[in-house]
Structure 1
Amino acid sequence: MATNTRVRRRTRNFPPRRWVAAAAIGTLVLTAGCSSRDEQTDTGAGAAGALTVVDQRGETVTLDGPAGKVAFAVMPAPSIFAAVDRSYDRIVGINQSTLVANRGGMFATMFPASTESAVVAGNDFVPNTETLLQLDPDVVIQWGDRGSEVTAPIENAGFPVVGLEYGTQEDLEAWITLFAQIAGKPERGQQLVDWQRAEQAEMRAEVAAQPGPRPRAMILSRTGDTYSTTSAKGYDGFQFDLVGAELVTEGFTSESGQVGPEQILAWNPEVIMLSGFDQSTPADIYADPRLAGVSAVQHKRVYKTPLGGYRWQVPSAESPLMWEWMHRILYPGARDGALRDDIRAAFDDLFAYDLSEDEIDQVLRFDMNSGAAGYDQFRR
């Protein structure tokens, strides 16, 4: 877990939720949905049955015990929590973007209830306190580095807030550890962190053994005729280096992330990986005459990133699968079925779900990627 350098440590005290609910909406709507935490094993310190965690703000947050109901104003946190818990049962509220992702991929199949989850925040992460009051979660997961505008309304409504930070592998491992503590399953969290670290070490060794220069690659998004990308300062800087790619956007700076076709031509990536946050397809990129001279277009090396429990391109419980997919795209090899086997085993461990062959095809986006160079290596 990442070490927080802040020295501030204070425990949050929260007003009684039912009093807040009465004041806010004029009725006691919080009597339904008793928490299952009373049946959980105490894993925290302090008062009998209490559980304490230190979030990424450096705040000490105290719960009555392992949370029975958790609401998430952020993404992709719910899929990570579900992987920690191997269940969706405790998740009562999510971000609007998470709901869209849930309905578009395997998550809806694995956890049908995820397609009807209440929305507690939109893309601006501003919490819907009235919905939270109705859901009565034991804890709310929110960004901890975006100011009090997104945390204070939740705390003022009487709910503990666990604040998160985003952008590094260390942050991801901290999330896994925090969620495991909240669920009362610290050993499970350590197991998943150990897996992530072991996969990193194995990937670095494999990349070190690769001869020749690194393939030039990038992540690309398309909305209409407008393109955008990511810089090496974010998570992509970490994972493209990890899997043995030269990220062509090194040094790229843009507040919006927008990039013109001329710049993409100048970078001339050999591999383009398309964002899962838009509807772009490899066919769209091939059809754009402005990109006809790009190596990745000429050699059919444009790939839609997979969509599993969540969009693989961002830090998640499934990140080791993304690293393996990326590495095999960059350095295509024999059709050995290894990635399919790893996906099946990981989904069983993470989500307690046995994927069919067709569902693995769905995760790997064969509907869009089947004609891409080297993609036959992933066929059953």
Structure 2
Amino acid sequence: MRDADPNAGLDRRTVLQVFVAGGSAAVLAGCGAAGPAPGASPSGAPSSSAAAGSISITDQRGKTVTFDKPVTKVVTIPMPAASLLVAVDRGADHLGAMHNASWVAMRDGIMGSMFPAALDLPHDIASQDFIANVESVRALNPDVVIQWSDAQLIEPLEKAGLKVIGLANTGKQEDVDAWVAMFAAMLGKPERATEMKAHSDQELAEIKALAAGRTSAGPSILYFNRFTGGLKAAAANTYNDFYIKLVGGTNPATGADPLPGTGMVGLDVEQVLRWDPEVILLGNFDAAMPQDIYADPVWQDVSAVRSRRVYKVPLGGYRWDPPGQESPLMWHWLTDIAFPRPESGLRAKVTDYFRFLYNHQPTGEELDKILWTAANSKSAGYQQFNAA
């Protein structure tokens, strides 16, 4: 999973154009970091309009991909793409295969119980580094393959005659908007992108208003993408850095003593001790839990450990740590972690959002699973997320 821009998503400028061509939706999504392809305008839009009745999408490489009709079989390789497709489609019928990490999130979260047939789909189509098994993908005969926009990842698929939509991930909320718009268009459901963006924009405005209304500074919050088997934290140009700052916190990994480089950067315990973060977030890319830190003598001098402010990030239809369709729920959860209150309204918000995204009303047990209420039960203030 890639992450980026520390100030991402704050201006929410529109980078998508949706238009109708002969009654079918066409999307021009020109916010790729790689720059426009030959023949494309600087915005990434194609130089000529789509043919009547077809669906034309300009991906985040600036390359235009055209379909004669809505797609019915999609292979996804970027980790967030499988669950995002399900959310846009409100079903898994058009998902043909996915990356193993996407499948693991479905198995371990509640996506697998909402859409159990998805767990039977192929999920050995690419390596951990997103390199596709081209022959396996070809054998599935998909209408389109979703892949990260790196040329070395896409070229083998295109040389095999497959249509590919390339996704960029600059760490901006605009990327999520672009992904949703492209998926909605190729599925023949452009109105779904409008609905999803409106919901996300509303939640973003609410979070910004809450942050702007505070008079006290927020805590320092350190996010671990990996904890077990070697530490990796969210540095500059990550979505995690964006939402830490969005809710009013600070990220020591991008502060006065920053980690070198961008993305998820390796570090040692001594660096964490120097930062002394007030809150630690454990991501869903390994099995580390708060109790693992609380029980380890190495971490006992860290403020977050002394005050019991170590938390496992929720896992819903997909992991809440990276960008995705449930990111607005992550913003609200982290706001309540940074600025705890006696009772959070998050359970009701998750219920409403899941109805909207998946046409599913989570049970109390499912809400507890999503929010890791058991694993986080010994952490300060987490009772606010319990059922009333």
Q: Please tell me the TM-score bracket, short chain as reference.
A: 0.7 to 0.9
SS at match of 1:87: coil
Report if the CA contact (8 A) 1:285-1:297 is conserved: yes
- Is 1:226 the counterpart of 2:230? The answer is yes
CA–CA separation in structure 1 for the residues paired with 2:117 and 2:104: 13
Classify 1:341/1:69 alpha carbon distance in 2 versus 1 (closer, same or farther; 3 Å): same
Q: Does 1:360 align with 2:367?
A: yes
Within 5 Å, give how 1:111-150 maps onto structure 2: 111-119=115-123, 120-144=125-149, 146-147=150-151, 149-150=152-153
Q: Shift in Å at residue 53 of structure 1?
A: 0.5
Task: Name the CA distance, whole Å, in 2 between partners of 1:188 and 1:90.
Answer: 15
* Equivalent residue, structure 1, for 2:378: 371
Q: 1:4 aligns to what?
A: 31
- Distance in 1 (CA, whole Å) between partners of 2:228 and 2:283 is 14
Q: Residue by residue, what CA displacement relative to the aligned partner does 1:213-234 show, whole Å, maximum 9, x if unpaired?
A: 2211110245545322111321
Aligned residues of 1:53 and 1:61 also touching (Cα < 8 A): yes
Equivalent of 1:164 in 163, 167, 178: 167
Q: Work out whether residues 223 and 280 of structure 1, in 8 Å CA contact, stay in contact via their aligned partners in 2.
A: yes
Residues 62, 9 of structure 1: alpha-carbon distance in 2 compared, 3 angstrom cutoff: farther
Rounded to whole Å, the distance in 2 between the matches of 1:127 and 1:347 is 31
Aligned-residue offset at 1:307: 0.4
Deviation of the 1:330 alpha carbon:
0.5
Offset from partner CA, 1:28-53 (integer Å, 9 cap, x none): xxxxxxxxxxxxxxxxx644542111
4+ residue runs over 2 A deviation = 1-11, 45-49, 221-226
Q: TM-score, normalised by structure 2?
A: 0.85
Q: What pairs up with 1:64-83 in 2 under 5 angstroms?
A: 64-83=68-87
Say which is worse superposed, 165-174 or 355-364, in terms of deviation: 165-174
Q: SS of the counterpart of 1:272?
A: strand
Letter in 2 for 1:74: P
Contact 1:10–1:60 at 8 Å: present in 2 too?
Answer: no
What are the Cα deviations for residues 275-306 of structure 1, in whole angstroms up to 9, with x where unaligned? 11001010111122121111110011100000
Q: 1:372 to 1:236 in 2, by over 3 A?
A: same
Q: Deviations over 1:250-299 (max 9, x none)?
A: 13125762211111111111111101100101011112212111111001
Asked if the contact 2:31–2:178 (Cα under 8 Å) also holds between the matched residues in 1, the reply is no
Task: From the superposition, tell whether residues 230 and 10 of structure 1 become closer, same or farther in structure 2 (CA, over 3 Å).
Answer: same
Alignment of 1:9-88 (within 5 A): 46-88=50-92
Shift of 1:238: 1.1
Instruction: Quote the Cα distance in structure 2 between the aligned partners of 1:267 and 1:180.
Output: 43
Contact map agreement 2:147 2:153 (CA 8 A) in 1: yes
Structure 2: distance between partners of 1:110 and 1:233: 33
C-alpha contact 2:76 2:82 (8 A) present in aligned 1: yes
Matches within 5 A, 1:303-322: 303-322=311-330
- Rounded Cα–Cα distance in structure 2 between residues aligned with 1:306 and 1:60: 36
8 Å contact kept, 2:73–2:143: yes
Query: Structure 2 vs 1, CA of residues 136 and 222 (structure 1 numbering), >3 Å: closer, same or farther?
Result: closer
| 1:4, distance to aligned residue in structure 2 (A) | 3.3
Which amino acid in the other structure matches residue 128 of structure 1? N
Alpha-carbon distance in structure 2 between the residues aligned to 1:322 and 1:46:
37
Deviation at 1:189, TM superposition (A): 0.4
Match 2:348 to one of 330, 334, 341:
341
Cα RMSD, aligned residues only:
1.7
User: 1: distance between equivalents of 2:191 and 2:226?
Assistant: 41
Which of the residues 319, 323, 337 maps onto 1:329?
Answer: 337
3-state SS of paired residue (2:142)? coil
* SS, match of residue 324 in structure 1: helix
Share of identical aligned residues, percent? 39
Find the counterpart in structure 1 of residue 281 from structure 2. Answer: 273
Unmatched 5+ stretches in structure 2: 1-13, 16-29, 41-48
Question: Which amino acid letter does the alignment assign opposite residue 331 of structure 2?
Answer: W
Distance 1:225 1:293, change over 3 A: farther
Q: Where is the helix percentage greater, Structure 1 or Structure 2?
A: 1
Bigger drift between 341-350 and 284-293 goes to 284-293
- Residue aligning to 2:182: 178
Q: Which moved more, 1:203-212 or 1:120-129?
A: 120-129
**TM-score normalized by the length of structure 1:** 0.87
* Higher-Rg member (1/2): 1
